[in-house]
Structure 1
Amino acid sequence: MKKTMVITGAASGLGRALAIKAAAQYDVAVLDIQAQAGQQVVDEIQSQGHQAAYFNCDVTDAQAMDTVAQQVLSHFGHVDVLINNAGIASEGGVEASSIEQWNRVLSINLMGVVHGCRAFLPYLKQQPEAAIVNVASFAALALAPYMASYNVSKAGVVALSETLRAEMVGTGVHVAVACPAFFKTNLTQSMIDSHDKMKQRIEKWMESSSFNADDVAQDILTAIDKKQFMVLSDQKTKNQWRVARWLPNVFFRQKIKFIKRLN
C-alpha cells in the first residue's frame, strides 16, 4: 500500500512539480484554491496510472484546513507526508510596504504553514514513519533588503520548523524545511506591490538559475527519504549560507553592494 502525500499549493510551480514527481511513490492529495489547475494536475497523475485527488483549500482559513484534513483522511485512509508549499511573493522595504501586504503575506506564507501543521499532525502522528516538509526560501537566510514581508514570513517558517523538529522527537514525525534560492518558476506572477526594477532582477535571477522546480522537488523527496532537516538546492547556496552564519559582517557587506547595484 502506497503512502499518502499532501501538498498545498500543488496546482502550479514547485507544488505541481512535487505532485508529479512524487506520484510514483505516493498517492497524492493536491490542495489548492485553483480548482481547474489543481484538477489538471490530478488528471496528469492519473493518466500515468497513479492515484491522486484534488481538494479545494485556502491555507489562510484554519477551520477550512481542519475540514480538508478530514476529507483527505476519509478519501485515502491515512496521511504520511505533508508538504506545506503554498506561498506568494512580495517586494518592498519595511517602511514602504503596506500593512495590507504584510497581513496578506504572513497569512499565507507563515500562518498557512501553521494551519497545515496543526490540521494534519494528529493524523501524521498515527503513522510509524511520517514527515512534514515546510517550504521556506533562501530569502529566509539571506534576508536581502527590500523584500521585507517575504523575508519575515519565510524566516518564520524556518523558526517554526526548527521548533517543531524538536517537539516531534520521539513521535516518529520527521520535520524538514526547504530553502531553495530563486529557480525557474512563476513566482513573480504572485508578487504583491512589486516594482518593475526588482521584479525584473528577480526574473533575471530565476532565468540564470542552474536548477528548476523538478530539481528542487527531487531534493525535497530525497530529504524525506534521508531524514534531512535543512534542504538547500546547490553548492552556491550552501556556501552563501555558511558565510551568513559564520561571517555575518562579510555577508552584510555583500548586501550593501547589492543595494548600490539596485539603485
Structure 2
Amino acid sequence: MSRRVLVTGAGGGLGAALVAGFRERGDRVLATDLAGAAGEVDRTLDVTSAEDWAAARAWVEDEWGGLDVLVNNAGIAGGGRLDHTTMEEWQRLTDVNLFGVVRGTAEFTPVFKHQRSGHVVNIASLAGLVHPAGMAAYNSVKAGVVALTETTGHELAGWGVRATVVCPSYFRTGLVDHLVGSDEAVGAIFRRLVADSPVGPEEIAAATLAGIDEGADVVLPDEAGRQAYSFKLSDRPAYDAVMRRQAANLARLTDNSP
C-alpha cells in the first residue's frame, strides 16, 4: 500500500537517497529542503521556521488528507573542542539538529493522533550513542534526538504511532562542505573521516528503509556503528579507556596536550 511520506533535507545526500528509496517502493513523497537546495525538491521547508512547518502540514492535509511517515532528516554537521566552540555554534546546531526535529514532530503529532496511525523517523547519528572528544555540541544535540525519538514512541504508542531513530556512523556526505564550527583543527579531522568512509548515502538509505520495514526502534545502518555501540554496551570500562585515548590523541594532533 502506497504511503504518504514527508522528507526534510531532501535536496541531496541521504535525504535525496531516502526520497528515491521511498518512491521506488511506490510511496508518495513530499521532498522538502531550504530554498536554493542543490537537488530537486517539491517544497521549501526551513526546519527552523514554525511557519514553514505549519504550511507543510496544511499542504499535506489538503492534498493527501494525512501523513503516514515523517522523516526528520535535515541537519548540519559541526564539531569542535569545548574551549573552541562558541555559544553561537551551539545554538545553531541545536536549532537545526534538535529543535528542527522537535518542531516537525510537534506539528504532525495532532495529525497522527487524529488518524490513529503514523511513523516518525528521525535521522540522528552514532554521535547520539557514542560520544568522542571534540564533538560535544554535535554529540549533545544528536543524543537529544535519540531521547526525543524514544519518548515519542512511548508517548504516542496508544495512538498507533511508531518512532524510529537512525544512527549512522561516518558516511560520505556533502554536509561537511558547510561544516559549522570555528575549530579548524577538528574540522579537518572530521572532513577526512567522512571522505575516507567506504559507505555512501545510498547504503545508509537502504538500511534505514529496511529498519523501518522491520519495525526497529533504533537503526544502526552500518557495520562500524554497530561495532562501536556494541563495544560500549558490552565493556564500558574498555570503551571509556578507548575514548580517553582518542581524546589524548586529539589533544596531541591539535597541539593542546595536557
The within-5 A match list for 1:135-174 is: 135-174=123-162
Secondary structure of 2:40's aligned partner: helix
Tell me, in whole angstroms, the C-alpha distance in 1 between the residues paired with 2:30 and 2:210.
Answer: 19
TM-score, length-scaled by structure 1: 0.88
Tell me, in whole angstroms, the C-alpha distance in 1 between the residues paired with 2:89 and 2:185.
Answer: 19
1:197/1:95 Cα in 2 relative to 1: closer, same or farther (>3 Å)? Answer: closer
Indicate the residue corresponding to 1:68 in structure 2.
Answer: 56
Indicate the residue corresponding to 2:29 in structure 1.
Answer: 28
Deviations along 1:178-212, one digit per CA (max 9) or x if unpaired, are 00001011121221124443233223322332321
> Percent identical across equivalent pairs?
32
The within-5 A match list for 1:214-233 is: 214-233=202-221
Tell me, in whole angstroms, the C-alpha distance in 2 between the residues paired with 1:35 and 1:196.
Answer: 27
Residue 112 in structure 1 maps to residue 122 in structure 2: no
Indicate the residue corresponding to 1:246 in structure 2.
Answer: 234
Q: Given that residues 34 and 44 in structure 2 are in contact (C-alpha distance below 8 angstroms), is that contact kept between their aligned partners in structure 1? A: yes
Q: Given that residues 81 and 124 in structure 1 are in contact (C-alpha distance below 8 angstroms), is that contact kept between their aligned partners in structure 2? A: no
Query: Which stretch has the larger CA shift, 109-118 or 88-97?
Result: 88-97
Indicate the residue corresponding to 1:84 in structure 2.
Answer: 72
Deviations along 1:120-151, one digit per CA (max 9) or x if unpaired, are 12223344652111111001111111111111
Secondary structure of 2:128's aligned partner: helix
Indicate the residue corresponding to 2:164 in structure 1.
Answer: 176
Deviations along 1:96-118, one digit per CA (max 9) or x if unpaired, are 21111111110100000000001
Indicate the residue corresponding to 2:19 in structure 1.
Answer: 19
Structure 1 stretches of at least 4 aligned residues deviating more than 6 Å after TM superposition: none
In structure 2, list runs of 5 or more residues that go unmatched: 253-258
TM-score, length-scaled by structure 2: 0.90
RMSD of the alignment, in Å? 1.8
Counterpart of 1:41 in structure 2: which amino acid?
A: E
Secondary structure of 1:96's aligned partner: coil
Tell me, in whole angstroms, the C-alpha distance in 2 between the residues paired with 1:16 and 1:127.
Answer: 27
Q: Given that residues 90 and 194 in structure 1 are in contact (C-alpha distance below 8 angstroms), is that contact kept between their aligned partners in structure 2? A: no
Q: Given that residues 81 and 183 in structure 2 are in contact (C-alpha distance below 8 angstroms), is that contact kept between their aligned partners in structure 1? A: no
How far did 1:254 drift? 1.0
Tell me, in whole angstroms, the C-alpha distance in 2 between the residues paired with 1:153 and 1:246.
Answer: 24
